Chain A
């Protein structure tokens, strides 16, 4: 069973701090890694994706990938109350067939305290 695991939280950080969200995955053949943000009562919104080992930065967000350790993380710098949401880690498994399948983790709830 291919799995994606995240700490459910809630993770609480003060406004202006760095929030660190972590994710591990079981399938070594995984190719693409995603972070989605989901506000309460809303649908998931893609905020970052990463394919290669290392860091990828986009504004206040940095995704980090370590394929050897099967680990992907999301750092949010200068956290704002508007960042309070559930963050879903998702992994695209090896496309051995004609279609792809994205597996989602259970999500980590982040609360940024003013």
Chain B
């Protein structure tokens, strides 16, 4: 595997479900990010992790819970989501800062019903 891998590619969940999104990067990067992309809106930064430490929580509701066990893996735990949370969730990584840009994963298309 190379680059940034996200699973699952598609997820449909009910509002009372609990699910997790997984991201793994094989680039030796030390910073990882979660972004949300909704229709007709810019990419929204959710969380930033540098060297496994969370350095940014961009006012994200507590129904989204990130976890970064090591520099290569990032999870987003989801519970009691709302229909408006339906979106494309993108994981990205960078060497340690974003100064040279990000490498994005293929994303998880989430639908909350």
Q: Could you mark each residue 63-107 of chain A with 1 if its beta carbon is under 8 Å from any beta carbon of chain B, else 0?
A: 000000000000000000000000010101001011111111111
List 14 interface pairs A-B (beta carbons < 8 Å), by A numbering: A31-B99, A32-B100, A43-B104, A44-B104, A97-B55, A98-B50, A99-B48, A99-B50, A101-B45, A101-B48, A101-B98, A105-B42, A106-B41, A106-B42
Interface size on B, residues (CB 8 A): 22
Question: Which residue, of B48, B90, B97, B101, has the highest number of chain A Cβ atoms within 10 A?
Answer: B101
Q: Given known contacts A46-B102, A88-B43, what 19 new A-B pairs fall within 8 Å (CB)?
A: A4-B42, A31-B99, A32-B100, A34-B101, A43-B104, A43-B105, A43-B106, A44-B102, A44-B104, A49-B100, A88-B42, A90-B101, A99-B31, A99-B55, A99-B97, A100-B99, A101-B45, A102-B98, A105-B42
Question: Which residue, of B99, B103, B105, has the highest number of chain A Cβ atoms within 10 A?
Answer: B99
Nearest chain A CB to B107 CB, angstrom units: 5
Between A and B, how many residue pairs show CB distances below 8 Å?
Answer: 60
Q: Which residues of B contact A106 (CB under 8 A)?
A: 40-42
Q: Which residues of B contact A105 (CB under 8 A)?
A: 42
Q: Could you mark each residue 49-72 of chain B with 1 if its beta carbon is under 8 Å from any beta carbon of chain A, else 0?
A: 010000110000000000000000
Q: Which residues of B contact A97 (CB under 8 A)?
A: 55
Q: For A102, give its contact among B90, B102, B107 (CB under 8 Å).
A: B102
CA gap between A32 and B98 in the complex, in Å:
9
- B: which residues have CB within 8 A of A? 31, 40-43, 45, 48, 50, 55-56, 90, 97-107
Q: Which residue of chain A has its CB nearest to the CB of B88?
A: A43
Q: Which residue of chain B has its CB nearest to the CB of A35?
A: B101
